[in-house]
Structure 1
Amino acid sequence: MTECYSLLNLRFPSFPVIDFGAKIFPKRFPKSISFSHPSSKFQLCGISRAMEVVEGSEESKGSSSPLMKLLFVEMGVGYDQHGQDITVAAMRACRDAISSNSIPAFRRGSIPGVSFDQMKLQIKLGVPHSLQNSLDIEKVKSVFPYGEILNVEVVDGGLICSSGVLVEEMGDKNDDCYIVNAAVYVGY
């Protein structure tokens, strides 16, 4: 799979920031540069293509859906230290993401033409790959008291580590602790 990235301020996994400020572009910049990365192939686009991406083509939309105008992103972390239930960790991550926020703008009409029932959510969960099939998405969705959930995306992430102790009375099968990361995109 080849992905196209803008040359303005790039970040790649396992690579430092590559900052191509406008002053250092040569007059005849190549149309594209390719290099290999262990997990995929990245293609850096020439200046004119980079500007198309930045200025609004489909590729620049990122993780927010064209069906939703993004207002903000809430982030959280959830753990299941005893019982080894990835769904419990994911639910806690989502609760952590939304628990420190209040969204009066939807109820008070602060966004002209947008009512409370038009709130939309997209959820992205970082879950260890080996546990993704055990995740109960419907239970995770139950954490959200309102808002239309457009999608739940599960990606490789999170962590399995030792909790340091196995407590059979709490349902432990081993001493694993499951950790999930959540990003909740809120918009209308």
Structure 2
Amino acid sequence: MTACSLNSPFLSSGKFRYLGNSCWINHSFSNPIRSLTYRFYLGSPRFSSAIRAEAAMEGQQIESVNIGVNPSMKLLFVEMGVGYDQHGQDITAAAMRACRDAISSNSIPAFRRGSIPGVSSDQMKLQIKLGVPQPLQQFLDIERVKSVFPYGKIVNFDIVDGGLICSSGVLVEEMGDKNDDCYVVNAAVYVGY
């Protein structure tokens, strides 16, 4: 059994619970709303010094979704973006903005100039991963989101729980608002060949 130990005055009064290769700590503040649960993943023997911590409010459990890169793709880089829809409550618009944000500040001359021997822009592959609030995933128009990408073959399109629904602070009926919700989507675009 692996022992969990932390040298942190902030966490030293927490309660520990061992679960396989992870250690759970429940740290209670004087205010129960600020009670936190931390999960520490103990690294494999090869990476024993690597510890990743995730924090969640007590009562919630955050699990990493590890959707790897398509094995048929040689990954070159990952672009990330965030998209919002403040008026109109259109989750597809937020997702399209997230994808545009991810790709808009990049130029990929390697595919057009032949910098990668034997590889052209016709062989570019994309894997799209979107973090979308779970209750809105059913309303996402994937084909409209795919239309954001000017070239490259999309080999995977993954939607995971993520993003955010928050208040924009105002309801503007002239802009199509049904309420004051603002939708936020996160995007990761994996580019390879």
What is the TM-score normalised by the length of structure 1? 0.72
Residues 63 and 22 of structure 1: is their aligned pair in 2 closer, same or farther, counting only changes over 3 Å? closer
Correspondence for 1:75? 80
Residue type at the aligned position of 1:171: G
Residues 11 and 65 of structure 1: is their aligned pair in 2 closer, same or farther, counting only changes over 3 Å? farther
Correspondence for 2:182? 177
Correspondence for 2:12? none
Q: Aligned to 1:16, which of 37, 40, 65?
A: 40
Equivalent residues in 2 for 1:106-145 (5 A)? 106-145=111-150
Residues 130 and 11 of structure 1: is their aligned pair in 2 closer, same or farther, counting only changes over 3 Å? farther
Does residue 153 of the first structure (1) align with residue 161 of the second (2)? no
Equivalent residues in 2 for 1:78-93 (5 A)? 78-93=83-98
Q: CA deviation at 1:16?
A: 3.4
Residue type at the aligned position of 1:164: G
User: What is the number of equivalent residue pairs in this alignment?
Assistant: 151
Question: d(CA) in 2 for partners of 1:88 and 1:146?
Answer: 20
CA offset digits 1:96-136 (Å, max 9, x no partner): 00001000000000001111100000000000000000000
Does residue 167 of the first structure (1) align with residue 172 of the second (2)? yes
Aligned-partner SS, 1:89: helix
CA offset digits 1:56-101 (Å, max 9, x no partner): xxxxx95111111111000000000000000000000000000010
Q: CA deviation at 1:180?
A: 0.1
Residues 104 and 139 of structure 1: is their aligned pair in 2 closer, same or farther, counting only changes over 3 Å? same
Aligned-partner SS, 1:145: coil
* Structure (1 or 2) with the greater helix fraction: 1
Residues 164 and 105 of structure 1: is their aligned pair in 2 closer, same or farther, counting only changes over 3 Å? same
- Contact 2:42 / 2:48 at 8 angstroms: preserved in 1? no
Question: d(CA) in 1 for partners of 2:23 and 2:184?
Answer: 25
Q: CA deviation at 1:41?
A: 9.6
Query: Please, what is the CA RMSD of the aligned residues?
Result: 3.1
Task: Give me the identity figure in percent.
Answer: 73
Residues 24 and 127 of structure 1: is their aligned pair in 2 closer, same or farther, counting only changes over 3 Å? closer
Residue type at the aligned position of 1:184: V
Aligned-partner SS, 2:149: coil
Correspondence for 1:186? 191
Unaligned runs of 5+ in 1: 1-6, 26-37, 43-60
Aligned-partner SS, 2:42: coil
